[in-house]
Amino acid sequence: MTTLLAIGTRKGLWLATTDDRRTWQLSEPHLLMHEVPAVALDTRGGRTRLLVGTRSEHWGPTVVRSDDLGATWQEPDHGAIRFPDDTDAALERVWQIRPDAAERPGVVWAGCEPISVWRSTDGGEHFDLVRGLWDHPHRSEWGAGYGGAAAHTVLPSPVDDTVHVAMSTGGVYRSDDGGATWAPRNTGISAYFMPGPEPEFGQCVHKVARDAEDPRRLYAQNHHGVYRSDDAGDTWHSIAEGLPSDFGFAVLADPRTGGRVWVVPLVADAERVPPGGRLAVHRSDDAGRTWTTCGDGLPDGHWNAVLRDAACVDDDDPTGVYLGSRSGEVWASRDGGDGFVRVADGLPDVLCVRAARLP
C-alpha cells in the first residue's frame, strides 16, 4: 500500500510517497514559484485527485487539479473559483480545500480569502459561492488575522447536513442545512484581544477538528485557548490544562479513534516558537482531559512554527501524523505521534500537508 504525502510550500508543491511510512521518496517540485496554501487528496471512488490552491505574486490565485499524481495539471479557463460580478470581490487566496464525505461524491468545499466558503459538486473543477455565508449580516464586522481575512477551516459532517466553518477573525459558524443558513457558535471561546465581555463572534479560532466517534464533538485551537465542544459547537470548554501553552495553530483528531487529538503548542501570540525550541506534539487519548508529550525524532533547537494546515493525519492503521515547519522540514509518524522520521528538509516554508493511502 502506497501512502502519498502532499507538501504545499511558499514556493511550490512537493509529493512524497512511501510503502512503509518509514522511507520516503520526494518528488521534484511541482508548480514551482507558486505559493501553495491549500491542498487536498480526494481518494473517493477509487480515484486519486489532487486539488491545489495556488497563488502567484504576479498572476494571482487559482485552483488546479491533477488526476495523474502531478504529471499534468488542469484548470478551467475562467478559473475554478471566481467571485460573481455582483459581489465586487476578487479571490485573494485559497486557504482550504475539503472533499466531503464518501456519501456525497463530487462535493468539495473550499474556504477562501476574502472570507468566503465555496462548494463544488463536480469534484473541485468548479465552485459556487456559498451565498448564505457571504450575505451574512456579520460579514462587515469580520476582521483580518495576521495572515489575512479568511475562512480557513471547513468541516462538513459525515452524518448529516451540518457544516462548520472557522475564520480569522470571526470564529466558528455552523450551518445545519448544508450551507444555506449560518449562525455563530463561539460560546465559551475567549477573545482576549477585544474589550468587554466575550462577543458572540469575532474570535480568532485557528483550526477546528472533528472527533472520530462523536461527530458532535469538536476540538479547537484558538489564538490562545484550546477547547472542546460536545454539542456541535453550541458551547466550548477549555482543555488546555496540562499543555505547556494554549497558543498554536494546528489541531488534529484521529479519524479512527474517538477522543484522540493532537496539538502543536507554540509559546504565545508574541512568541510564535515551540517552547524552549523543542518541537513536540501533545496527544490526548481522553478528549483533552489529559495530555502526553510525544514526538521522538522531532528536533531540538527548532525556532519555527507549524502553521494551521501544516499538520495532518492519514487514513492508515495505526494513524500517521505529519508535521511541516516554516523551516522547510517535514516529519512523519506512523505510530500516532510517538516517533517521527524526517521526510524532507531544505524546502521553502511549509504551508500545508495532506496524506492518504492511494486507492
Return the residues of window 154-183 that contact another protein according to CB under 8 A: none
Indicate the residue among 68 and 177 with the shorter CB distance to another protein.
Answer: 68
| DSSP E strand boundaries for 116-239 | 116-120, 128-129, 150-156, 163-168, 171-175, 183-184, 205-210, 218-222, 226-229, 237-238
Rounded (5°) CA angle 259-264-268: 125
Nearest approach, Cβ of residue 273 and another protein (Å): 21
**Residue linked to cell 459538486:** 121
Per DSSP, the three-state class of 135 is coil
Indicate the residue among 127 and 291 with the shorter CB distance to another protein.
Answer: 127
Q: Does 292 bind another protein (CB under 8 A)?
A: no
Indicate the residue among 12 and 202 with the shorter CB distance to another protein.
Answer: 12
Q: Report the 10 Å Cβ neighbour count for 244.
A: 18
Which x/- pattern over 64-93 shows residues binding another protein (rule: CB under 8 A)? -----------x-xxx--xx-x--xxxx--
Indicate the residue among 57 and 103 with the shorter CB distance to another protein.
Answer: 57
Report residue 79: phi and psi, to 5°.
90, 145
Which x/- pattern over 31-70 shows residues binding another protein (rule: CB under 8 A)? -------------------------xxxxx-x--------
Indicate the residue among 129 and 133 with the shorter CB distance to another protein.
Answer: 129
Total binding residues toward another protein, as defined by CB under 8 A: 17
Sheet with strand 281-284: strands edge to edge: 247-253, 261-266, 281-284, 292-294
Binding site for another protein (CB under 8 A): 56-60, 62, 75, 77-79, 82-83, 85, 88-91
